[in-house]
Structure 1
Amino acid sequence: MAEAVKQATKGEGCKLTGGEWLSYYDEVTVTDAGDLDVDHIVPLEEANSSGAHAWTPARREAYANDLQAPRSLVAVTAKTNRSKGKRDVAEWLPPAENALCTYLEDWTGTKLRWALTVDQAEHDALTRLAKDCPDAIVDYEPAP
């Protein structure tokens, strides 16, 4: 996991021990992998309403398991991920102020990577919030 600040040891049954992870949404360091969730930066339901509904099952599966883009899936505290749920950037932002620009870059990069649409509220929020991120760079490669 890219969020590991101390690599874990994989034990019996793939149980991870001894690691530390930084949940960038809330700037919490986690030492128990069970306290983490893997978050889809753009939630599955949001992707579906942004164009994924028309994809083949194989493409939806590729999106849901996108390990090729380092920021499509991130490990964050379960508590914070669950507070986000299926909401988009017009409805939810990470609680850590330092996470805002990274989150906006990740969100936008994921939407562009998968050619997903944005609704008006999402567009307006991204435009408004981007003003606080003058050095932000959205880096992405189109999904295969």
Structure 2
Amino acid sequence: MAIINRNRRKNKLYPIYILLIIIIFALYYYYKNIYKSNLINEYNRKDWGNWIDEDKNGLNTRHEVLAEESLIKPVISNNKVMKGKWFDKYTGKYFTNPSDLDIDHLVPLKNAHISGASNWSKKKKNRYYNYLKYDNHLIAVSKSANRNKSDKSPVNWLPPNKEYQCEYVREWFKIKTAWGLTIEEGFDEVSNRVCKGK
């Protein structure tokens, strides 16, 4: 009788073993596909291209922004802005040497990538990279501030110039919404804090 009972218990356990094996294989293929997907959509700066001269006036996007944002008539030579005067909204400081400035994507490329742009075509990525139809999509800022910002969202970085912080988060929201990009968790809390009473 004892032998029969043991055999019955074994027979009852077989379906459980089979189910466990099926679950293990299912999880294996699930995470394997996620891993492959992450590899395919991995951020690659080269996919976004470089500055272009869209209107064929001799100035590429960087110098278009520098010329447009200069507070005085810029000095242009060999299709490059050589001198002008710029107010850096991030730091609240003025600059006269364009070499001290970066042209920053207010919503950085890598942040855009992880917010929905990973599946964009290279053509659309380059359009985003060089987009001039919205004033604050690209802005001239100090190199040091831009390096400090890197690809951070407002949840992790805000301009040291507190007077610009509210405008910064509002522009961030507008740009992300316009391009169909997702908003970070915690953004609303930051926005409410820096824009309180404004």
TM-score bracket, shorter-length normalisation: 0.7 to 0.9
| 2:73 counterpart letter in structure 1 | Q
Task: State the Cα deviation string for residues 67-102 of structure 1 (Å, max 9, x = none).
Answer: 111110100011111110010000000001111122
Contact kept in structure 2, 1:26 and 1:94, CA below 8 Å: yes
Partner residue of 1:141? none
| 2:193 counterpart letter in structure 1 | R
Aligned-pair identity in percent equals: 30
Output the CA distance in 1 between the equivalents of 2:104 and 2:186. 22
Output the CA distance in 2 between the equivalents of 1:124 and 1:89. 10
Tell me whether 1:8 sits opposite 2:74 in the alignment.
yes
Which one has the largest radius of gyration?
2
Aligned residues: 132
Mapping 1:1-144, distance limit 5 Å:
1=65, 2-12=68-78, 14-17=80-83, 19-132=84-197, 134=198
Output the CA distance in 1 between the equivalents of 2:81 and 2:107. 27
User: Residue 13 of structure 1: CA displacement?
Assistant: 5.5
- Partner of 2:174, secondary structure, is helix
Q: RCO (CA 8 Å, sep 6+): is it higher in 1 or 2?
A: 1
Partner residue of 2:31? none
- Partner of 1:6, secondary structure, is coil
User: Residue 119 of structure 1: CA displacement?
Assistant: 2.5
Contact kept in structure 2, 1:5 and 1:20, CA below 8 Å: yes
Select the structure that is richer in strand.
1
- Partner of 1:95, secondary structure, is coil
Structure 2 length-normalised TM: 0.62
Contact kept in structure 2, 1:3 and 1:23, CA below 8 Å: no
* Runs of 4+ that moved beyond 6 A: none
Partner residue of 1:140? none
* Residue range with higher mean Cα deviation, 21-30 or 112-121: 112-121
**CA RMSD after TM alignment:** 1.5
Partner residue of 2:9? none
Contact kept in structure 1, 2:155 and 2:184, CA below 8 Å: no
| 2:72 counterpart letter in structure 1 | K
Change (3 A) 1:71 1:15: closer
- Partner of 1:126, secondary structure, is helix
Output the CA distance in 1 between the equivalents of 2:104 and 2:130. 11
In structure 2, the gaps of 5 or more residues are 1-64
- Partner of 1:5, secondary structure, is coil
